[in-house]
Amino acid sequence: MAKYIIEFEDEPSMREDGVNYYTCKSARWYNLGDTIINRLEPYTEPDREAIAGEVWEFAKKIGSFNGLSKHELDECFGHTTIQGVMTTYDTYQEAKAKYEAWKKQKDEIRVGDEVELYEGAKGLVYIVGEEMLEGAYLNCNGLVSFCWKKKDCRKTGKHFDDIEELLKKMRGEE
């Protein structure tokens, strides 16, 4: 026998005789001869082994020796231990969503970041465009401006808040 998940409206409707009833969201109206079952998607049990494997990979990613440092755990989850993470988040999905958002923000290039184009070519970003980064780097002749493709750059991990603040002051935003 197939299983179905049926979602009902949050608020009841009222029949003419005053009886309240809830309407099914997935199959509100049907013709005579057509049954609600014909309009519903059968429920399929999740592959528990696949989910367990995914959870295990995530746990290794954040908790093993090659995983996140205590500082990164604290930055991402507000805890320095895996036990703290597990007691704060009710589900694996909540913890993973928090991690993915943190990772995206961490990987995103911002004004004031130092980026590397290729081995040895490092520059400081002062404009972040859709596809290009503009900034400056030092060479033997002094300060040189650059315009590099964002996809060809990677963050070095260094960030200078002073650059962002200086640019805001120059634009009169502070």
Residue 32 pLDDT level (bands cut at 50, 70, 90)? very low
The boundaries of the domain holding residue 9 are 1-45
Q: What is the pTM of this model?
A: 0.53
> CA-to-CA distance for 114 and 146, rounded, in angstroms?
12
Gap between the Cα atoms of 38 and 32, Å rounded: 12
Share of the chain above pLDDT 70, in %: 89
Q: Is the same domain home to 124 and 153?
A: yes
Q: Does one domain contain both 59 and 92?
A: yes
CA distance readout (Å), 135 to 116, 130, 149, 150, 172: 12, 14, 12, 12, 20
Ranges assigned E (strand) in 7-112: 13-14, 20-21
Domain total of the chain: 3
Convert the pLDDT of each residue in 120-171 to its tens digit.
789 999 999 999 999 998 888 888 999 999 888 888 889 998 888 888 888 8
Residues 120 and 167 in one domain: yes
